Structure 1
Amino acid sequence: MRITIFPLTGAILYPDLHLPLHIFEPRYRAMISDALARDRRIGMIQPQREFEGAPLFQVGCLGRIGDVEALDDGRFNVVLEGESRFRVLRELDVTTPFRQIEAELLDEPDEEVLAAIERAGFEREARRFADAQGYRVDWDSVSRLDDVSLINGVCQIAPFDAAAKQALLEANGINERCELLIQLMQFFARRDSDDEDGETLQ
């Protein structure tokens, strides 16, 4: 299928989750106007590097514009609702100010669940990571989330670098994503601790 894309480093969307966006650049204001006039869908995807027209990572997520606020100066505040991951087949040669691709939608496994020991291990590691980072978390609410919402939700908001966030998006299913997420929390926690030790020694 043909997808209009919004390449944005660090912005990751997952199916069934929401991503608020503030749209201010003229080309992306045009992108939103075009999407609203058609099917309200755009694809979120990360560029591999930080320059105009940079190559794209191969996997992104198609989203549908839900809530939208059109501001007087032409900017938009929108909430994108994740629908399906996609894989880029090729970028299209277009005359629009925004980029477009041909892509295939990726099937998501039905009714994914974690084993009880996996869920417990993840929540234990997440508590450690949150405490180390100084985050305040409503753990009672977390405990009520289903496995998919929990794992994908943490992946979407985790303070990791672009490559790590992309690896999580490309993981197949929540079991693989959960395992990778635990490894990343441990890695970034160790890295932050090493940085602090280095500063202390100086």
Structure 2
Amino acid sequence: MMTHIDLPDTIPVFPLPGALMLPRARLPLHIFEPKYLAMLDDTMKTSHRLIGMVQPMETPGGSGARRLHRVGCAGRLTGFSETEDGRYMITLSGVSRYRIEAEQTGFTPYMRADVCWDGFERDLGPVEEDPDFDRGRFLDLLNRYFSANALSTDWDSLKEAEDELLINSLSMLCPFETEEKQALLEAPCLSTRRKTLSTLIDFSLRGGKAEEILQ
């Protein structure tokens, strides 16, 4: 079994608002900016093929230099196809969360960072379960949320999906704000993520603000 000792100390980092990566989940991405095409080319030459997804912090008024959250999640490049005009459609498979210790600049057109994997050991372990998960009650809440936001899904698949796949997929796909996505990412275990997800959905239905529950 892979351990964090096997993971690199420095990885390329891809800041992308709303693109949440979670361990053991898959994230499809469309790569077209020149600097990220360069990142992808360099990544394919490495043995680990890891790219670190991370959420930019929201800045008041959108001014000032972009800052990044310190916790992100690395995914391994497991699939890609190239379009005729030189763009890539890729798939990242989530490996582990990490904490940014230092940003490296000047060596590549994209950002690279020294990262620490400590504290996220469960990400490399077996699929998580949520023994207190009331699936019926949760799906009822989700149905109301999807109806209110004109969203559709395959309900039969949701009913049959494993706890982790269901909760993590919804955390990644639901149209939450950046700070809400970050709260889901940093949840220490699947049960906490499910509770956070349920709270976000409930507050959305009630017209509440995310910052009211993420303090």
- TM-score per shorter chain, which class? 0.7 to 0.9
Give SS of 2:129's match: coil
5+ residue gaps in structure 1? 193-202
Structure 2 match to 1:154: 170
* Pairs within 5 Å for 1:55-134: 55-105=67-117, 106-108=120-122, 110-116=126-132, 118-134=134-150
The SS at the match of 1:128 is helix
Deviations 1:81-133 (A, max 9, x none): 11111111121234200101111222226453223553333222112211222
- Single out whichever of 132-141 and 176-185 deviates more from structure 2: 132-141
Unaligned runs of 5+ in 2: 1-8, 209-215
Name the amino acid aligned to 1:127: N
Match of 2:213 in 1: none
Tell me by how many angstroms 1:70 deviates: 2.1
In structure 2, the residue matched to 1:181 is: 197
1:141 lines up with 2:153 in the alignment: no
Q: Who is 2:28 aligned against?
A: 20
Find the counterpart in structure 1 of residue 5 from structure 2. Answer: none
Shift of residue 174 of structure 1? 1.0
Question: Pick from 36, 39, 46: which aligns with 1:38?
Answer: 46
1:114/1:70 CA distance change after superposition, 3 Å: same
Identity of aligned residues (%): 36
**Corresponding residue for 1:4?**
12
CA contact (8 A) 1:94 1:100 kept: no
Higher mean C-alpha deviation, range 23-32 or range 80-89:
80-89
- Of stretches 100-109 and 22-31 in structure 1, the one that deviates more from structure 2 is 100-109
- Matched residues, number: 192
Deviations 1:42-86 (A, max 9, x none): 111111146796211011111111111123433211111111111
Inter-CA distance 51–84: structure 2 relative to 1 (3 Å threshold): farther
Can you list the C-alpha shifts for 1:1-51, whole angstroms capped at 9, x where unaligned? 111011111111111111111111110010000001113211111111467
Match of 2:37 in 1: 29
Matching residue of 1:54: 66
CA contact (8 A) 1:44 1:60 kept: yes
Mapped partners of 1:52, 1:94: distance in 2? 20
User: CA 1:38–1:53 in 2, change beyond 3 Å: closer, same or farther?
Assistant: farther
SS in structure 2 at match of 1:37? coil
Aligned equivalents of 2:32, 2:72: Cα separation in 1? 22
Find the aligned partners of 1:141 and 1:25 in 2 and give their Cα distance.
35
Partner AA of 1:99 in structure 2: M
Residues in 2 aligned to 1:98 and 1:152: alpha-carbon distance in whole angstroms: 28
- Distance in 1 separating the partners of 2:169 and 2:127: 16
